[in-house]
Chains A and B, each alone.
Chain A
Amino acid sequence: MSTLTKQTLSHLDWLEAEAIHILREVAGQCANPALLFSGGKDSICLLRLAEKAFRPGRFPFPLLHIDTGHNYPEVTEFRDKRAAELGERLIVRSVEDSMARGTVVLKHAGESRNKHQSVTLLEAIEEFGFDACIGGARRDEEKARAKERIMSFRDEFGQWDPKNQRPELWNLYNARSHKGENIRAFPISNWTELDVWQYIAREQLELPSIYFAHVRPVVRRNGLLQPVTPITPAQPDDRVEDVQVRFRTVGDITCTAPVESDADTVDKILLETATTTITERGATRMDDQTSEASMEQRKKEGYF
């Protein structure tokens, strides 16, 4: 006879167990998955979860990064170091190669390459025949993502059809696809930004240095801090200031803004995250501010 246990998992343990379960379902159901690893905090959590899911074995998938060529060097260096420490295979495919092939055409030289990652991702999926891509997207990030499935089906053009998603019941995930189609799997769908930082703190995960407070030259534009870099130089009438900042999210330099902060440890970041008054993407993403539906539009076109 079973004994009644009143004990339950803490919320972090529960989220961890769910994510491990999802990762193992991808491995069990898909023939050739890949894990999207950018060096950002969400995908750093994914790697720890993959260790917990599959060690002492190797990961049943390579790591894949779609590089816009406009990433912060601290992040790409971290990406390479972390992959080497884990002894797992890292595949990098570059938007610049897609531009050279003519499959990505920028409207003008200064256009952000961020949304064009979709093209390069689809090319990589085709090149390697990946039937699933595991990503670190979270439902709390953005409105369109709140409706995203944990196993999300994409057609052969990589398109997401939000009005015609597969029903997802219990924890019976359906990751089946035909050749050329693709599943996007999101193991940390149910995590919030605060959960991610609590997990980083608990697991003592190492992060790229730009997540922590540092002094950086910036220009104030449209209420956001635009970092001054070789890719995003100051304009003649800009007033460049040295400000103590940290990044809440890291991505393409042209569309990721830091926030003013003196939080230089994970504990201080946790406190700031718990008491912030602005959402993660609202404070930091220029690409989400073009219209209320810009994330949904990008996702329909094959974005993560």
Chain B
Amino acid sequence: MSAPEHLPDIDNGLLRFLTCGSVDDGKSTLIGRLLFDSKTILADTLNAIERTSARRGMSAVDLSLLTDGLQAEREQGITIDVAYRYFSTGTRKYIIADAPGHEQYTRNMVTAASTANLAIILVDARKGVLTQTRRHSYLASLVGIPHLLVAVNKMDLVDYDQAVFERIRADYLAFADKLGIRDVRFIPISALNGDMIVDRGSRLGWYAGPTLLEILEAAPAAHTERAEDFRFPVQYVCRPQDAANPELHDYRGFMGRVESGEIAVGDAVSVLPSGATSRVKAIELGGARLERAIHEQSVTLLLEDEIDISRGDLIVKAAEAPEPVKQIDATLCWLSEAPLSPARTYLVRHTTREVKAKVAQIAHRVDVNTLAHEPAAQLAMNDIARVTLKLAQPIVADAYADNRATGAFIVIDESTNNTVGAGMIA
């Protein structure tokens, strides 16, 4: 490889996406292909998987070996846990969350989906739309991934037949409509041969759309598609009180990340749940003063008035303040081997706030395969249910559909400190 004169500037930010599919859909091969064709895989890694492929008696290099990170996964030839992979095209950086399809599928998929803005759902061209395809699509839409890409893989095994692809597309659209999935696209690929991933290949001439990578390059980044209210959960309060520096004596910086929307110096703000109001005096980032801050930026806010603010409080624009609530309806995914018990008290972490909570009601459980509602007295691992929670103190929340950051919460079991549930406020 010859060295370029200078590095290309990455100016299109970062996209997080999820790949889901079951064991044999070729998901690991697709990821391997993306990394390989984008030149992310380096020679020594390739040598290592070449050796392993040869040892297992395979004729070609098995790109799926790239994503099996743990000893147990390599021994069993399966993927157990979510793995994160990185590649960059020169204009955009990508974070792939690779969710295994078979074991603990709901738990892993919900985890991987929670930070993704696009999901690639793999379908085996020979098998078409299966129960698991519906399950993955349901979970992706449940967790609010705005863009779905159905990749019909293994086109090489159906002679690159357009009719197969069109039939799968029609089948998929028939049920996607019921899920309320708005943006879904379809692409025929062969991950094994690299057709329509990074390069178009020569065997899918009937497909006129963009390659998979071109779709990723053009996919909208999070927070860019609709107007969002400003939400700033306070993480930490900075009061330097440095005796050597009297200028800092009255310094009170409210540190956090702009979860959505934007804020500018001079804007009127409310602090929740107290409801106190003030104006933004300054916005700081590492000693620099900013005129404004946008979604996903970590900054420090200084206010004009002295208000009592601590970790767990939410700063919003005065005109966009939601009401604090002590009871929430939510879709809850149970993630723990110990079942959810309505008799117990749990801890709910919502933004930077922790409150004690009890389940007031389990309205129904959802069968992720049929989407049927069924009654439930408790929840087991991988169950998804509509519940009502009573909270010991109020939280300031939005509906998850409006705001992923202020609509999401996790449930913690205080006896183990494990994260046992993931919730989305209705």
Please classify how large the interface on chain A is, using the bins under 10, 10 to 19, 20 to 34, 35 or more.
35 or more
Which among B81-89, B168-176, B204-212, B355-363 touches the partner chain?
B81-89
Instruction: Identify which of A21, A168, A172, A272 contacts B298 (C-beta below 8 A).
Output: A21
Size of interface on B: residues with Cβ below 8 Å to A: 87
| Bound complex: CA A60 to CA B238 (Å) | 10
Partner of B95 from the list A174, A190, A296 (CB cut-off 8 Å) is: A190
Contacts of B335 in A (CB 8 A): 167
Q: How distant is A269 from chain B, measured CB to nearest CB, in Å?
A: 11
**B45 interfacial by beta-carbon distance below 8 Å:** yes
Report if B417 contacts A (CB, 8 A): yes
Binary interface encoding of chain B residues 2-32 relative to chain A, with 1 for a CB under 8 A from any of its CBs, else 0: 0110110011011000000000000000000
Specify the chain B residue showing the minimal Cβ separation from A13. B297
Question: Is the CB–CB distance between A52 and B107 below 8 Å?
Answer: no
Q: Which of B81, B262, B404 contacts A170 (CB 8 A)?
A: B404
Hey, which chain A residues are within 8 Å of B62, CB to CB?
A: none
A178 at the interface (CB under 8 A from B): yes
**In the bound complex, what is the Cα–Cα distance between A170 and B351 (angstroms)?**
10
Cβ < 8 Å to B, chain A residues 73-93: none
Q: How far is the CA of A122 from the CA of B69 in the complex (A)?
A: 25
A204 at the interface (CB under 8 A from B): no
Contacts of A272 in B (CB 8 A): 3
Cβ contacts B214-228/A at 8 Å (1 or 0 each): 000000010110111
* Residue of A1, A6, A27, A166 with most chain B CB atoms under a 10 A cut-off: A166
Binds A, one of B126-134, B250-258, B338-346, B368-376: B250-258
Q: Contact check, A271 vs B6: say whether CB atoms are below 8 A apart.
A: yes
Which of A10, A162, A274 is B11 in contact with, Cβ under 8 Å? A10
* Closest A residue by C-beta to B16: A190
**Assembled-state Cα–Cα distance A99/B253 (Å):** 45
Whether B43 contacts A278 by the Cβ 8 Å rule is yes
- Is B242 on the interface with A (CB-CB < 8 A)? yes
Q: Is the CB of B417 within 8 A of A174?
A: yes
B235 touches A25 (CB 8 A): yes
With A168-B111, A275-B1, A279-B42 as contacts: A292 and B48 at CB distance below 8 Å: yes
Cross-chain contact of B70 among A18, A147, A153, A276 (Cβ < 8 A): A147
- What's the Cα separation between A296 and B115 when bound, in Å? 25
Contact of A147 with B295 in the complex, beta carbons under 8 Å = no
Given contacts A13-B297, A21-B298, A162-B81, contact A8 B223 (CB under 8 A): yes
Is B401 on the interface with A (CB-CB < 8 A)?
A: no
Q: Is A165's beta carbon under 8 Å from chain B?
A: yes
Closest to A280 in B: B42
Rounded to whole angstroms, the CA-CA distance of A163 and B410 in the bound complex is 20
Q: Which of A10, A58, A153, A170 contacts B115 (CB 8 A)?
A: A170
Query: Which residues on B sit within 8 Å (CB–CB) of A146?
Result: 67, 69, 83-85
**Within the complex, which residue of A147, A169, A276 is in contact with B408, where a contact is CB–CB below 8 Å?**
A169
By a CB distance below 8 angstroms, the chain A residues around B239 are 57
Beta-carbon contact of A166 and B7 below 8 Å:
no
Query: B69, B107, B110, B297: which contacts A17 (Cβ < 8 A)?
Result: B297
A163 touches B285 (CB 8 A): no
Instruction: Scan B236-256; emit 1 where CB is below 8 A from any A CB, else 0.
Output: 101110100100100101011
Q: Mark A44-78, 1 if CB is under 8 A from B, else 0.
A: 00000001111111101000000000000000000
**Residues of chain B contacted by A58 (CB below 8 angstroms):** 240
* B364 interfacial contact with A, CB 8 Å: no
Q: Report how far A271 CA is from B1 CA in the complex, Å.
A: 12
- Which of B82, B110, B227 contacts A4 (CB under 8 A)? B227
Report B-chain residues with C-beta under 8 Å of the C-beta of A104.
none
- B412 touching A20, Cβ below 8 Å: no
The residues of A that contact B296 with a CB separation of less than 8 Å are 8-9, 14, 17-18
| Nearest CB of B to A295, in Å | 10
| Nearest residue, chain A, Cβ from B70 | A162
In the complex, which of the residues A27, A274, A293 contacts B7, with contact meaning CB atoms closer than 8 Å?
A274
Whether A292 and B13, one on each chain, are in contact in the complex, defined by CB atoms closer than 8 angstroms, is no
Given contacts A169-B410, A277-B42, contact A2 B229 (CB under 8 A): yes
Residues of A within 8 A of B72 (CB): 162-163
Alpha-carbon distance A277/B83, docked complex (angstroms) = 23
A170-B261 CB under 8 A given contacts A4-B226, A9-B297, A14-B13: no
Given contacts A3-B227, A56-B240, A57-B239, contact A190 B88 (CB under 8 A): no
**Which B residues are CB-close (under 8 A) to A297?**
71
Within 8 A of B (CB), among A207-241: none
Interface presence of B230 (CB below 8 A)? yes
Asked if A171 is at the interface (CB within 8 A of a chain B CB), the reply is yes
**Which of the candidate stretches A31-39, A112-120, A136-144, A247-255 sits at the interface with the other chain?**
A136-144
Name the distance in Å between A233's Cβ and chain B's nearest Cβ: 28
Tell whether A286 is near chain B: CB-to-CB under 8 Å.
no
Report whether A17 and B298 are in contact in the complex, using a CB–CB cutoff of 8 Å: yes
Q: Is B193 an interface residue (CB 8 A)?
A: no
Contact B298 A169 (CB under 8 A): no
Beyond the given pairs A147-B82, A167-B335, 13 more chain A to chain B contacts, judged by CB atoms under 8 angstroms and listed by A's residue number, are: A3-B227, A7-B294, A11-B10, A20-B257, A21-B257, A55-B286, A147-B84, A162-B70, A167-B107, A174-B412, A270-B7, A282-B42, A282-B45
In the A-B complex, list the 5 residue pairs whose CB atoms are closest, starting with the nearest.
A52-B286, A282-B44, A20-B298, A143-B69, A11-B93
